[in-house]
A and B are shown apart, each in its own frame.
Chain A
Amino acid sequence: MGSLGLILARVLQAVPTLFGIVVVTFLLTRALPGDPAAYFAGAAATPESIAEIRAQLGTDQPLPLQFVRYLKDLGSGNLGQSVSTGQPVASELLRRLPASLELTLTALLISVSVAIPLGVLAAVRQDTWIDQLCRFVVTAGVSLPTFFTGLLLVYVFYFLLGWAPAPLGRLDMLHITPPPVTGFLVIDSLIAREWSTAWSALKQLLLPSITLALFTLAPIARMTRASMLQALASEYLRTARAAGLSSSRVLMVYAFRNALLPVVTTLGMVFSFTLGANVLVEKVFAWPGIGSFAIEALVVSDYAAVQGFVLSMAVLFVLLNLVIDTLYTLIDPRVRIDG
């Protein structure tokens, strides 16, 4: 089977997973305490008006029928109305998604570009100070609550040093939001040639993404170190050395490329943590992404919004995993041969 066929098979595998996610979010919606119709009708509702709303929502029908209706709604992109904003949940989520993606992707970029060199160096210079540093970063990284690191950074870099702007969203009041192209403010303002806006947006972005990066650094660095150690101890590496290849070639081509594969697989778990931690970081920095939208919705018991958030996060996670597996198939020739 060619790699294209394998990728296609992997995409098909995601279908039952997606179905499972939809079933769980549906069940979560039905598990709410009390009657959503009574909730929507408000305090002054009569039994008739509640029954009317119930019929309107479809909650008077048996569960399987409700599920079919839910599927139909999802198919047409309808995630329900948000009680708190009065807007459709789907459009609200779409409007806020770029902010969350900008934060998450920047954080991942930072953490990958720090964690992988750190892990490699720790493995190559085992038991030196850099290895100890790596161990310290890994242990501290998994022990620090994200929201706590965020607050510490705000205190040090905003209050004490004054280097960072106030943790209040994506852009300060002085700048006008550039016309949206990608939805990423930094890139958009670069496209619009608004240099000072780009700089300001970048400064706002820096602290939250470093916070998130510190959290995701640990698992990536740990995995890189472990798999690099394994590659360094392997027989093909001994052969490569014995054949007289230069040490940089042995290290970068033979050891590093093989060590990278397990790291790519851990990225899936890292994404799971990142998307969760994203919610906390967004709250700390008042970042207007889908996480803070969900928190606002939680506070006022806006269930449709919360369920829409959970569903879209899960779908995002499945898609990210799909991308990773596709990458894996492309990088690793063994997968193609075994398949």
Chain B
Amino acid sequence: MTDITINTITAAPRSSAWSRGFAHFRYVMTSNPVTLLAFVMLAAMILIAVFGPALVPHDPLATAADKALKPPSLQHWFGTDQLGRDVFSRVIVATRLDLLISVSAVALSFFVGVAMGACAGYWGGWFDKLSGRLLDTIMAFPLFVLAMGIVAAAGNTIQNIVIATAIINLPFYARVARAEVSIRRNAGYVQAARLSGNSELRILIEKILPNTLPPMMVQLSLNMGWAILNAAGLSFIGLGVRPPTAEWGIMVAEGANFIVSGEWWLALFPGAALMLAVFTFNLLGDGLRDLVDPQRRT
């Protein structure tokens, strides 16, 4: 049915859903070059995360005492660190771990948050009250500090960094999901679906949730950058990732000791990589938001 309406409105020749999706994507990309740039940067980042470790010129963990603290050169593009390790290789290799931490944290809090918010918004009642209280309590903490407390209590591992980052992101998703579901709870199409005998769970999952996805996706992309910053902040203060693992936050922390004596390349390059990643997701989020809701453009 959707096929027919779209075709009659746009009068386009019948085409597959795939190529229509691509056409829409191309329209979005060409209408805003900044969003296009963000998508290209995201693609590059994913490629680096997947293939980077196989392509780097040096072993990211190989130490060489005779080449310690050398400034950037043709052989070592980003210089070497205090143990003679190649900073360029380490920055590239770290991409995978950093993206993995933040993607899994955001994915975790997205699914839990949507499930929680959707149930609260659809059925209301005691679950709504309980989850609302829980979210209020999370928000009553300065979020980064709460994450520190969780990691300190649960143990200093990468897994717990992911969980802590997921918990402090939870309120954002759950609140958007709750709001979006509760305004659609009694919409015309939902009542129609109810009258034709669909179960409540089926209505929620098949009729309402797909409609709440666009604003949720925007929230997802906007929060991604923040999640990366938080995870890197935690490893900067020595939680989660342990040396000699290559990770941007811990690399900046190690390089921090050498900034005062002028060895800037140790901290600058991982820091810049981190900044670029956060920047990409923020641009992407802004672009997507303009797309979904032109009114909120600021």
Contact = CB atoms under 8 A, between A and B. Distances in A.
Same assembly: yes
Interface of A: 16-17, 20-21, 23-25, 28-29, 31-33, 139-140, 142-148, 151-152, 154-155, 158-159, 166-167, 222, 225-226, 229, 271-277, 279-280, 283-284, 294-295, 298-299, 301, 303, 306-307, 309-310, 313-314, 317-318
B144 A279 contact: yes
A147 B260 contact: no
Contacts of B261: 159
Interface in B240-269: 249, 252-253, 255-256, 259-262, 264, 267-268
B141 A314 contact: yes
Given A139-B283, A143-B225, A159-B260, A32 B153 contact: yes
Closest 6 CB pairs of A and B: A276-B144, A20-B137, A310-B149, A148-B271, A275-B142, A143-B279
A231 B279 CA distance: 30
Given A279-B148, A295-B238, A166 B142 contact: no
A139 B155 CA distance: 34
Contacts, number: 157
Contacts of B137: 17, 20-21, 23-24
A81 B245 CA distance: 34
Contacts of A154: 259-260
A33 B154 contact: yes
B264 A155 contact: yes
Contacts of B114: none
A283 B140 contact: no
5 contacts: A17-B136, A151-B252, A226-B298, A306-B148, A314-B146
A310 B148 CA distance: 8
Interface string B111-131: 000000000000000000000
A314 B146 CA distance: 8
A151 B259 contact: yes
Nearest to B34: A139
A318 B139 CA distance: 10
Majority-rule SS of B interface residues: helix
A151 B262 contact: no
Contact of B154 (A21, A31, A283): A31
B140 A222 contact: no
Q: Determine the interface band of chain B, counting residues with CB < 8 A from chain A.
A: 35 or more
A195 B120 CA distance: 59
Contacts of B146: 24, 310, 314
A326 B154 CA distance: 37
B144 A31 contact: no
Interface stretch (B4-12, B80-88, B228-236): B228-236
Given A21-B141, A29-B153, A272-B142, A145 B278 contact: yes
A16 B180 CA distance: 27
B145 A310 contact: yes
B183 interface: no
Which of B145, B226, B249 lies at the interface centre, i.e. has the most chain A CB atoms within 10 A of its CB? B145
A271 B136 CA distance: 16
B169 to A, nearest CB: 13
A318 B145 CA distance: 13
Interface string B137-176: 1011111111011101111100000000000000000000
B150 A151 contact: no
A216 to B, nearest CB: 13
A17 B260 contact: no
Given A28-B150, A280-B236, A310 B141 contact: yes
A195 B33 CA distance: 54
A148 B140 contact: no
Contacts of A24: 137, 141, 146
A139 B279 contact: yes
B166 to A, nearest CB: 16
Contacts of A29: 153
Contacts of A275: 142, 144-145
B53 to A, nearest CB: 23
A279 B142 CA distance: 11
Nearest to A27: B153
